[in-house]
Structures are given as structure tokens and as C-alpha cells.
Amino acid sequence: MTIGELKHRITLQTLEAIVNENGFEEEQWIDFKTLWASIKNLHGREYFQAATVQKENTVKFIIRYLPGIDTSMKILFKDKHYNITSIDNIRYENRFIEIKALEVDSLG
């Protein structure tokens, strides 16, 4: 993986409690970090394994290492939301992270 392959902009979002204008707390997705990523669809064996558990809309995002990412976050890419299903610090080198995420349909 080279830095030049990270050519797509994605935004990591976290769910936070925000106090609205009426003084009530409500949960909202807040931008955590916007960064560059390489994006790939699953193919071959990975695709068929995902299809067996109805996760065929899974996408692989590869980003530079960033501490603090967890599976409670969402990814926003091209006006689509993706729930993070797994995070892999590639070879534990703290250089790149592979994130597998499932596309959320428009109904939530």
C-alpha cells in the first residue's frame, strides 16, 4: 500500500449526545475526522463469505493509522453511510488500518 492509493475522502463520525435548543439531550452523528482512504469492494472468497451472512454490501476502506477508531463509529462516503464491522491494524505496524464496513440502506 502506498500513500498515492489513498485518493478518496471519507469522514469518520461518532454518535454523541447533544443538548438541543429546548434543553433536551438528543443523539447526533458528529464528524470525528475527515481523511484520505483507498476503497475496495469485496471480491472472490471475501465476497462469497460476506454473502452467506447477508453482508454483500461490505466495503473495505484502507486509511493511514489513526488511534481511537472503534466499531461504534460510522463512515460517510459519497453521501452513503457505512457501519464499521471490523478494524485491522495491518501487520500491527501502525502504518495502515483496514476497515470493513457495511453500507446502511436509506431506511436506516
pLDDT tens profile 42-55: 655 555 555 555 55
CB 91 within 8 A of CB 69: no
CB 94 within 8 A of CB 65: yes
Strand locations in 20-95 (E): 25-41, 58-64, 74-77, 80-89
CB 65 within 8 A of CB 88: no
pLDDT at residue 57 in the model: 83
Cβ count within 10 A of residue 22: 6
Fold classification of 22-103 (topology level): Thrombin, subunit H (2.40.10)
> 107 pLDDT band (50/70/90 cuts)?
low
User: What number of residues does the chain have?
Assistant: 108
pLDDT at residue 33 in the model: 97
| pLDDT above 60 (res 11) | yes
> 105 pLDDT band (50/70/90 cuts)?
confident
Q: What is the DSSP letter of 105?
A: P
Amino acid at 19: V
pLDDT at residue 47 in the model: 52
Largest CA distance in the chain: 51
Single pTM value for the model: 0.81
Task: Provide, rounded to the nearest whole percent, the portion of the chain with pLDDT above 90.
Answer: 69
